[in-house]
């Protein structure tokens, strides 16, 4: 049984096959926005400094 492949996926697969130089641009763009090194100490500090949210945000009595 064949797996479903959307029209967009087919288009992108064919387009990247015709334009292989775009794979490098795609990697650069991903690195710019998403692939960031993680600092565990800073993540821990942010978690400790977090203020809990009230159950009902607009209730001034709690």
Q: Are 16 and 23 in contact (CB under 8 A)?
A: yes
CA dist., res. 27 & res. 8, Å (int)? 19
Find all residues with CB under 8 Å of 15, minimum gap 6, and list them. Answer: 22
Tens digit of each residue's pLDDT (9 = 90 or more) over 4-62: 999 999 999 999 999 999 999 988 988 888 878 889 999 999 999 999 887 887 877 76
Cα angle vertex 56, ends 52, 59, to 5°? 105
pTM over the 0.75 mark: no
List Cα–Cα distances, 54 to 24, 48, 51, in angstroms.
46, 17, 9
């Amino acid at each position: 049984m064949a797996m479903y492949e959307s029209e967009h996926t087919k288009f992108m697969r064919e387009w990247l096959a015709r334009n292989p130089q775009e794979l490098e641009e795609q990697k650069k763009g991903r690195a710019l926005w998403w692939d960031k090194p993680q600092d565990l100490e800073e993540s821990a500090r942010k978690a400790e400094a977090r203020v809990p949210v009230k159950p009902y945000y607009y209730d001034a009595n709690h």
